[in-house]
């Protein structure tokens, strides 16, 4: 993991994004991680997406 960004925050909601190092990631591993995170009572949503940076 390269960094964790705070995308938005409020009194009851904080949105965080973990930025991975520029290596390949296995989609089934990311699915398993988001499924695990989504099971926590304090997590409203857990997803992953692919994007590129220059």
Residues 35, 16 contacting (CB under 8 angstroms):
no
**Whether residue 4 has pLDDT greater than 70:** yes
Which pairs with CB-CB distance under 8 Å and at least 24 residues apart come from 13-22? 13/44
pLDDT tens for residues 40-49?
A: 988 888 888 8
pLDDT classification of 39: cutoffs 50, 70, 90: very high
- Among 42, 47, 45, 46, which Cα is nearest to 12's? 42
């Amino acid at each position: 993991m390269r960094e964790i960004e705070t995308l938005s925050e409020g009194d009851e909601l904080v949105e965080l994004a973990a930025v991975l190092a520029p290596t390949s990631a296995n989609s089934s591993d990311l699915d398993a991680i988001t499924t695990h995170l989504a099971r926590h009572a304090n997590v409203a949503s857990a997803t992953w997406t692919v994007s590129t940076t220059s």
